[in-house]
Chains A and B, each alone.
Chain A
Amino acid sequence: MAIIVNQEKCIGCSACVPVCPFGAIDMKNGKAVINENCTMCGACLPVCPVEAIYREEIERVVTMDKTEFKGVWVFIEQAGGEVKGVGHELLGEGRKLADELGEELAGVLIGNGVEEMASEVFASGADKVYLVEGPEYDHYNTEAYTVAFVDLIQKFKPAAILVGATNDGRDLGPRVAARVRTGLCADCTDLSIDPETRLVLWTRPAFGGNIMADILCPEHRPQMGTVRPKVFKKPAQDMNRTGELVKVASKVKIEDLKVKLIEILAVCTSNCKLEEADIIVSGGRGLNKPENFAAVEALAEVLGAAVGASRAAVDAGWKPALHQVGQTGKTVGPKIYIACGISGAIQHLAGMSSSDTIIAINKDPDAPIFKVADYGIVGDVLEVLPLLTAEFSKYKAACK
């Protein structure tokens, strides 16, 4: 496919030029011309007042018989004897996709001694669980997990695979996709089935969160995508539900693994486990000084919340990077997100906008954060925080 500007229809108004996110349109001799930066995103099509821009279909090399590929799979990430929340969230969403396609939902469980986790996978809606076990999978390892996953894909041919966009998921997903030579969409925020083509439509942010893109993987299988934790809600679990457990032998020998885990350094106390937290209190530049983060932490303590930080606060060295919420930090979706002294740059919003309730405190009434906050207090965060902490303390005491 290519995007072409019909040179006869083009009136040279250059309305399309600034709209292209990739700078792919030049004006030559008074007409718009598409250059090699074009990614076919189509942002220019609707802007042309004379409809001179169109998509041209080109022959695509069809490499596989797509009809063989059926079913939606979810990678069930587990660690420390527990299934990660994102696995369940994706099962919930995967169930909807599978139902629309009229196909099966399966969980992919790779680990060591994890068989009993299969029951909760069924409870979240899976029809099948593919299980690969062995000491070589005790802790996530790229090589081992990739071999196992690819083996399953080649044997059982799923139409689509969802992987949680955790550090490990974002490590595994592209490796698997590259080995299988298929398409992978990262950090999707919405999934649906395109009714015409029965393809998965992957929606994800681009350009640092400034725009959204709908992506398809028409000719390659399986269609793959990663989804950040807390983007979707955990489904209601039906513990009576069962399914088929398919055990597959491991093809990996532990001594062949090139990357070795030496040790794990636990740095965070409970208050930086942002992705699992129900309540997060976050601090930004508006706190003025690193010492003032204490006010944020005091409120977090009373609420039993995790502590987050904006990129500005992390860059200034006020909090370690593990607390950063945002496009290049962690994406969170707690029940309550309290943003203190955070202006609300798009990159920060991209990291927390799926929170259920957003409360913001900022002295600038025009701060962008107020556009997404459900409740906003305009005021000096250093004055408001201690008062809020006191109120919540009283409230907690009263509740007991």
Chain B
Amino acid sequence: MEIVVCVKQVPDTTEVKIDPVKNTLIREGVPSIVNPFDKIAVEVALQQREKHGGRVRVISMGPPQASDALKECLAMGADEAILISDRAFGGADTLATAYALSTSIEKMGPVDLILCGKQAIDGDTAQVGPGIAENLGMPQITYAAKIEINGDTVKVDREHDDGYEVMECKMPVMVTVVKSIAEPRFPTVKGTMKANRTQIPVWTAADIGADEKRIGMPGSPTQVRRIFTPTQRSQGQLIQEETAQQSVAKLMQLLGDAKII
């Protein structure tokens, strides 16, 4: 079974802070990590390979340092990694990114299953997976909380409203996964050493035969006009009485006054 996992290297946005004086983002000292949802997708791929055999390849579009993220996936046990990197890809929005990735996946040969994380924790758009599926003419199932493969059929429990939809589809199919589907394994020492020794191939825009009008900034319909720090809600009232009982009583009184209850 041929599995391809799309992976993105992202800044750890849970560590990002705002400079209180300048009101700007402090990106220094924020580590770059494998997007947590993508790591989970790699784990799902490895589990399926363990059950059904086959090959797990990971692909990422990014600057040269994104190969560190790919190395981590190799250290977890992925068979091969490919980095697509080119100045021409820079400034890509989700449409251009999906085009670059799908064009690359076409060059990788026939694929049975494409796995993506639900969303990247920097962009939070959840758009690239479906974009790739569209470009490759593949069906898609998003928000997979459970996946089962029987022969050529994929069965997915899809998170929906207040429960799950059980969906079925014949491969090839693109699936995006949510957190609860799997816990990513730790990379092993051997896996790490092997990953470090591996020369990860880098494909440029020319290598993948990309239409230069559809990649990078030229291929991005959306543009950022400006960035600003969010205005905070103004702080309300803090209640800290002697006893919890008194605090609660005061709250009830304030709520009543404000006609909230």
Contacts and interface: CB of A to CB of B under 8 A. Distances in A.
| A/B contact in complex, CB under 8 angstroms | yes
A259 B167 contact: yes
Given A376-B239, A395-B252, A47 B24 contact: yes
Contacts of B76: none
Contacts, number: 304
A261 B223 contact: no
Nearest to A306: B162
Given A19-B24, A208-B16, A259-B141, A178 B223 contact: no
Most B C-beta atoms less than 10 A away, residue of A40, A58, A175, A178? A178
Most A C-beta atoms less than 10 A away, residue of B18, B169, B235, B244? B244
A262 B166 contact: yes
Is chain A's interface secondary structure helix, strand, loop, or mixed overall?
mixed
Interface in B122-154: 122-131, 133-135, 139-143, 145
A237 interface: no
B118 A328 contact: yes
Contacts of A383: 244
Given A170-B142, A210-B16, A219-B221, A376 B238 contact: yes
A143 B15 CA distance: 38
Interface string B226-246: 111110110111111000110
A303 B11 CA distance: 40
Interface in A188-241: 201-202, 205-220
B91 A38 contact: yes
A321 to B, nearest CB: 5
A362 B169 CA distance: 47
B159 interface: yes
Contacts of B112: none
B242 to A, nearest CB: 10
Most B C-beta atoms less than 10 A away, residue of A183, A210, A261, A387? A210
A370 interface: yes
B93 interface: yes
A226 B27 CA distance: 28
Contacts of A37: 63, 90
B127 A379 contact: no
Contacts of B127: 173-174, 177, 184, 186
A273 B162 contact: yes
16 contacts: A36-B89, A40-B91, A61-B218, A171-B142, A184-B94, A207-B13, A207-B122, A213-B226, A217-B222, A258-B169, A259-B167, A266-B162, A322-B163, A372-B232, A375-B239, A377-B239
Closest 7 CB pairs of A and B: A208-B13, A183-B221, A268-B162, A374-B236, A183-B222, A220-B221, A178-B134
